[in-house]
Amino acid sequence: MTAVPAPDRPIDIRDPSSPLYIRVDGAVGRLLINRADKRNALSQAMWEAVPVALDLLEAEAGVHVIILGSAVDGIFCAGADLAELKAIAGDADRCEANRRAIRAAQQRLLYSPKPVIAAIPGACVGGGCGLALHADLRVASRRARFGITPAKIGLVYPLSDTRRVVELAGMAGASRLLLTAALIPADEAKSMGLVDFVHEDADFDGAVADLADKIAGLSPFSLKAVKATIRSVANGQLDEDAESIRLFLEAHTGPDATEGIAAFLDKRTPRFTS
């Protein structure tokens, strides 16, 4: 059996030389992909590190928003590590472990209680595109290209990933992306609903920072509740239940509402503490 390739460097979530690492800049937490020689291709170990990284960032009380981005200029992620996939192809247990690792990483992003922005400075393909689509918002540079390409290599896109593409791009968009395996430019991805904002390359970093700062200044209580409500609707909930009513009523007596309303009446910037 072919040996499974290892990442060039071990994964230490707090080490900026690691293939995947975190950084905290005030109210903004960053989860950065950092594997330049592999065009940020994701190994199983990197997928497994995503939930660990999110646990740490979510535990930081001062972090109000998370940026999923790249430490490598001009690329977001080329997808899964195909050399690793080739090496484990004959081992059903390893293939299943890899599938579970990918799903766990994406679901943790989708259900993070804190807003997640995917900052996409370049190529965003295959598993990398799947990762970005599980963030709440996607910001792309003009040079970014998007593609979901399993049909090019004889693989099948998972149902849960396909569902997310359909949520964002509709049935027609999902069919086009998956059946053609084409790479599309950022503006086209935006018109399909895959991307929320597109900026010129020179303005990209500043635009991402501005968006993160804007979100970080909002009520953490409100943002957490909004995220939970959006996912409930996306998962098929049609009407209020005890939890959604609790959130609505609790907000009115919470410290964020007290501060937010007072700040509005005083014509000042609110200072949320939740």
Residue 1 forms part of a structural domain: no
Residue 245 forms part of a structural domain: yes
Domains contained in the chain, number: 2
Per-residue pLDDT of the chain (274 residues; tens, 9 = 90+): 344 444 456 799 999 999 999 999 999 999 999 999 999 999 999 999 999 999 999 999 999 999 999 999 999 999 999 999 999 999 999 999 999 999 999 999 999 999 999 999 999 999 999 999 999 999 999 999 999 999 999 999 999 899 999 999 999 999 999 999 999 999 999 999 999 999 999 999 999 999 999 999 999 999 999 999 999 999 999 999 999 999 999 999 999 999 999 999 999 999 997 6
Residue 123 to residue 200: CA distance in whole angstroms: 15
Asked if residue 159 and residue 24 are part of one domain, the reply reads yes
Residue 3 forms part of a structural domain: no
Residue 247 forms part of a structural domain: yes
The answer to whether the beta carbons of residues 78 and 123 sit under 8 Å apart is yes
Q: Domain containing 119 — which CATH number? A: 3.90.226.10
**pLDDT score for 1:** 39
Residue that is last in its domain, among 190, 216, 242 = 216
Asked if residue 40 and residue 153 are part of one domain, the reply reads yes
Asked if residue 224 and residue 201 are part of one domain, the reply reads no
- 226: containing domain: 220-266
- Choose among 153, 175, 152: nearest CA to 162: 175
Asked if residue 257 and residue 122 are part of one domain, the reply reads no
Residue 150 forms part of a structural domain: yes
Asked if residue 191 and residue 246 are part of one domain, the reply reads no
Asked if residue 119 and residue 35 are part of one domain, the reply reads yes
Asked if residue 89 and residue 181 are part of one domain, the reply reads yes
Asked if residue 63 and residue 148 are part of one domain, the reply reads yes
Asked if residue 253 and residue 127 are part of one domain, the reply reads no
The answer to whether the beta carbons of residues 32 and 23 sit under 8 Å apart is yes
CA-based torsion, 133, 136, 141, 142: positive or negative: positive
Torsion angle, alpha carbons of 36, 107, 3, 77, to 10: -20
Residue 177 forms part of a structural domain: yes
**pLDDT score for 8:** 55
Asked if residue 168 and residue 107 are part of one domain, the reply reads yes
**pLDDT score for 273:** 79
Asked if residue 235 and residue 110 are part of one domain, the reply reads no
Residue that is last in its domain, among 197, 216, 235 = 216
Residue 5 forms part of a structural domain: no
Q: What is the DSSP string of 151-176?
A: GGTT----HHHHHHHHHHHHHHHHHH
Q: Domain containing 231 — which CATH number? A: 1.10.12.10
Q: Which residues contact 7 (CB under 8 A, 6 or more apart)?
A: 19, 35, 43, 45, 46
Residue 103 forms part of a structural domain: yes
**pLDDT score for 121:** 98
The DSSP 8-state label assigned to residue 201 in this structure reads G
Asked if residue 211 and residue 163 are part of one domain, the reply reads yes
**pLDDT score for 246:** 93
pTM score over 0.85: yes
Residue that is last in its domain, among 177, 196, 216 = 216
Torsion angle, alpha carbons of 225, 226, 228, 230, to 10: 160
